[in-house]
Structure 1
Amino acid sequence: MKGNEAIGEAAIVAGCRHYFGYPITPQTELTEYMARRMPQVNGVFLQAESEIAAINMVYGAAGAGARAMTSSSSPGISLKQEGISYIAGAELPCVIVNIQRGGPGLGSIQPAQSDYFQATKGGGHGDYHCIVLAPNSVQELVDVTVESFDLADRYRNPVLILGDGALGQMMEPVEFRASVATVVEKPWAAVGMKNRNQPNIINSLHLKADEQEQHNHKLQARYAAITASETRCEELYTDDAELTLVAYGITSRIARTAVEKARGEGMKVGLFRPISLWPFPSDQLFSTASRTKAFLTIEMSAGQMIEDVKLAIRCSKPVYFYGRYGGMIPSPREIYHEIVKIFDGKGGR
């Protein structure tokens, strides 16, 4: 399946029956797929009048206890940020998909990874976090999508799937492993007064400063629990690596090809792939710093994840960077040449 369509089917497998979106390249196929499939499973598909309207429809459906999803690409996700902050403040579970494209502004329609800061550092206002997951294959898009609905319900928090135009458009074999959606009781949902003595109220407004502070303490405790339990990463050849590449998403697959070539020529190179971008797998990456001599961060951006890499290793080792941006995709050959430059002592930071 094409990545975008695989996300849609995986969401349906996970029990999503409410989708609200707006078309934008390179994720429009996901919206088209949901338009066709949702009526077939007695679900709700609605193409909103704008991205702003779509995220607020997600707010309403999630507040009523439904498994709800929206998707967009970079400029559209920017428009959703206020609503995402409201959803996080109201402690509502939902899944948001960003199939990134080049920027800033309207940018290009080609793949990019320049929304990392927006995804992992909040994006909207206030002290909040989305759980951010970054798959690197169509199969992993499927698996992550199913898991995202469970994580959202478990922590009553939005989950953001951060893909890119390459993953959204590419076709690969997929297997849908889950057959029965997880059923989660939601006694907090706003569903009327049936079997209740008091109505549930969904809200993110706390006019008294002390109440708002207590609410933030509650959220921060939840984020600490997520950080303790939900970090994810993959390591390749890091046990003996003198140079460790750090890359996520589609870029990690390109980097792996370069790593394999370098190791075939005797260079001890490893690969560290963060799968959860928030929470970032800082402890796992720090443990590799005791074994490796340097890091090379590869991104389809001007350098955003590199800040988390430096923080994670506590600036204990050199961190080099190679990036392409605006919609350009690095090639394995380019990354291999960067590896060679570092081993030759000619790499720049």
Structure 2
Amino acid sequence: MARELLKGNEAIAEAAIRAGLQAYFGYPITPQTELLEWMSKRMPELGRAFVQAESELAAINMVYGAACTGARVMTSSSSPGISLMMEGISYIIGTEVPAVLVDVMRGGPGLGNIAPAQSDYNQIVHGGGHGDYHLIVLAPASVQEAVDLTVLAFDLAEKYRTVAVVLLDGSLGQMMEPAELPPMRPVKTVYPEWAATGMMGKREKNILTSIYLNPPDEEQTNLRLLRRWQEVEANEIRFKEYFMDDARYVVVGFGSAGRVALSAVRAARAEGIPVGLLRPITLSPFPYAHIRKLAERVEGFLVVEMNAGQMLEDVRLAVSGQKPVEFYGRLGGVMPFPDEILAEIQRIASGGLTLEGHPRERWLQRMNGKN
């Protein structure tokens, strides 16, 4: 198929429709509102369900109800709206039904602004809702990846009966790039055995619930979820590497931060600095084992994020003190420039690596010196 010039939010919406989306429930919030607007036109055209809910709370609970039928369902929002959805997400996970969530991140905390940020990492990757659970989290770095990962999210959500999240920042939602959309899949007509589909007495009722008042029953449910998550960890870790064959230093960044970091890595390579880039695509499950293996052969790591170092803690956990880890972040919707990251690469290549103290504290000291 031919590539088209597509806006990130609209590309995700159309990709979801072509992946067989049957029902969308959402509430407008910048910088993802174009996604909802696209759905409001296309879903009724195709005879599918679109509801602009009265709030994010209503939207996620509508998703919950529709997911119990086994249909392909989805919602989208941005950072403060996602915070409001957390209780509903926990209920969906506890009921073991599949759904897709798109989070187009903005600056925060609080209402924040509409500029791009990566400050939702902790609430999405480490589960902002109550209970022991994990979300599958996919982080694109381009419009094409956003399209591809949206389709994948539906497949993974159904395969593991969980919530799959496409996590991107506002710049990716708003930018336009050439991308190829997938072919249109037919909507499903056969539903899974567990679904509540109203079988008119043709089989026993399916009762879907997240309520287990008997503690041993709740424990068994949690253990079942954890065993399923072990399958996800064994089969679904994804990442991309650049210039890693002879790298002595590794930059780790996801989404837009990883994309900007790649430009800096290329510039550093032109100066003869042996640096490579690891860009995690699945933030959950996180590529701990691969980073741990890299730590055996490289001299150090630089984590780049558009937050105050949330993925940083996962990288440090993976490295386990084997090698130094440095950090560079921009906050509140400010995007890093390639020359800023290049300066950090030059610094660590010139002897700026240390195991002393916490990398966030060292970064804060350097930021205080600039501001």
TM-score (norm 1): 0.98
Of all paired residues, the percent bearing the same amino acid is 56
Match of 2:24 among 4, 19, 41: 19
Match of 1:131 among 127, 131, 136: 136
In 1, distance between residues paired with 2:186 and 2:78?
27
In 2, distance between residues paired with 1:175 and 1:195?
45
Residue aligning to 2:52: 47
In 1, distance between residues paired with 2:199 and 2:296?
58
Match of 1:227 among 230, 233, 238: 233
Matched, 1:10 2:23: no
Decide whether the 8 Å contact of 1:102 with 1:108 is kept in 2. yes
TM-score (norm 2): 0.92
Deviates most, 173-182 or 115-124: 173-182
* Number of matched pairs: 349
Give 1:17 deviation, angstroms: 1.8
1:180-259 to structure 2, matched below 5 A, reads 180-181=185-186, 183=188, 185-194=191-200, 196-259=202-265
In 2, distance between residues paired with 1:149 and 1:194?
28
Residue aligning to 2:331: 325
Decide whether the 8 Å contact of 2:325 with 2:353 is kept in 1. no
Letter paired with 1:113: Q
Decide whether the 8 Å contact of 1:150 with 1:182 is kept in 2. no
In 2, distance between residues paired with 1:180 and 1:109?
33
Residue aligning to 2:78: 73
Give 1:181 deviation, angstroms: 4.7
Residue aligning to 1:173: 178
Give 1:240 deviation, angstroms: 1.3
Match of 2:43 among 38, 45, 53: 38
Deviates most, 282-291 or 139-148: 282-291
Residue aligning to 2:63: 58
CA shift digits 1:13-40 (9 cap, x unpaired) = 0000200000000000001010011011
Match of 1:88 among 75, 90, 93: 93
In 2, distance between residues paired with 1:196 and 1:220?
33
Residue aligning to 1:345: 351
Decide whether the 8 Å contact of 1:238 with 1:288 is kept in 2. no
Give 1:290 deviation, angstroms: 1.6
Match of 1:116 among 116, 121, 136: 121
Residue aligning to 2:284: 278
Decide whether the 8 Å contact of 2:246 with 2:274 is kept in 1. yes
CA shift digits 1:278-316 (9 cap, x unpaired) = 000111222211221000000000000011101112221
In 2, distance between residues paired with 1:52 and 1:102?
21
Match of 2:179, SS state, is coil
CA shift digits 1:77-102 (9 cap, x unpaired) = 00000000000000010100000001
In 2, distance between residues paired with 1:60 and 1:196?
22
Residue aligning to 2:307: 301
In 1, distance between residues paired with 2:291 and 2:237?
11
**Runs of at least 5 residues in structure 2 that lack an aligned partner in the other structure:** 1-5, 360-371
In 2, distance between residues paired with 1:287 and 1:345?
22
Deviates most, 190-199 or 321-330: 190-199
User: What RMSD, in angstroms, separates the aligned Cα atoms of the two structures?
Assistant: 1.2
CA shift digits 1:152-179 (9 cap, x unpaired) = 1101000011011000000001112333
Residue aligning to 1:265: 271
Matched, 1:142 2:147: yes
Decide whether the 8 Å contact of 1:239 with 1:291 is kept in 2. no
Letter paired with 1:101: R
Deviates most, 110-119 or 185-194: 185-194
Match of 1:271, SS state, is strand
Give 1:204 deviation, angstroms: 0.2
Residue aligning to 1:154: 159
Match of 1:263, SS state, is helix
Give 1:253 deviation, angstroms: 1.0
Give 1:341 deviation, angstroms: 1.1
